[in-house]
Chains A and B, each alone.
Chain A
């Protein structure tokens, strides 16, 4: 079965703190893709990153970084020096060869000024 788990429902941090959003997935496929999306209060989901199952190299983009570990089936997302504009709901998603995206239930992040 394909499944994505985001165990953290809500997280609050004070501005400039680092925060890590967890994502654990289940799939029997050897080829799959993992995604992170951001949904700000305005509502539109914004694509952040895509990783394929054969590339475990971690990625950094500005204050954002992603840690993909196949051994633990995790694809965690870290925001460094958080800002108020980072407040949003963040979704992790899994795409496998069935052409269907499986989304986690999301983590609501609040950054307090």
Chain B
């Protein structure tokens, strides 16, 4: 079946602009995560959604970052007033239920802030 789909695959934006990154998880997966991977670095947790529960936003680096998940499916990560340090690959992952289920990752969105 279809995997986790992320769009756009690449995004170049000017410093100060807002961007929206989209994630379409695997159908039926209730858990959804956003991670950020900077060049040559590991995965930095950003936010976690589980069903209708309040999201775990503990990883969001600043108030310029926000995310929502509509209808328990598609999620959008928004970065306002982008900065050069926001340049990274943003990865989305989903699972049936996070406890003990492996994450299935999308191909990521490569964001470049110029």
Chain A interface (Cβ within 8 Å of chain B)?
33, 35, 37, 42-47, 50, 52, 91, 95, 97, 99-106
Contacts and interface: CB of A to CB of B under 8 A. Distances in A.
B99 A95 contact: yes
A100 B102 CA distance: 11
B42 A99 contact: no
A43 B89 contact: yes
Given A44-B106, A97-B99, 5 more contacts: A44-B108, A47-B103, A101-B45, A101-B98, A106-B42
Contacts of B107: 42-44
Interface residues of B, number: 23
Given A50-B102, A95-B100, A45 B91 contact: yes
B45 A100 contact: yes
A113 to B, nearest CB: 23
Contact of A101 (B41, B89, B103): B103
A43 B108 CA distance: 8
Contacts of B100: 33, 50, 52, 95
Contacts of B35: 103
21 contacts: A33-B100, A35-B103, A43-B89, A43-B108, A44-B106, A44-B108, A47-B102, A47-B103, A91-B43, A95-B98, A99-B50, A99-B98, A100-B45, A100-B48, A100-B56, A100-B98, A101-B33, A101-B45, A101-B98, A103-B43, A104-B42
Contact of B102 (A35, A97, A103, A104): A35
B63 to A, nearest CB: 21
Nearest to A108: B40
Contacts of A100: 45, 48, 56, 98
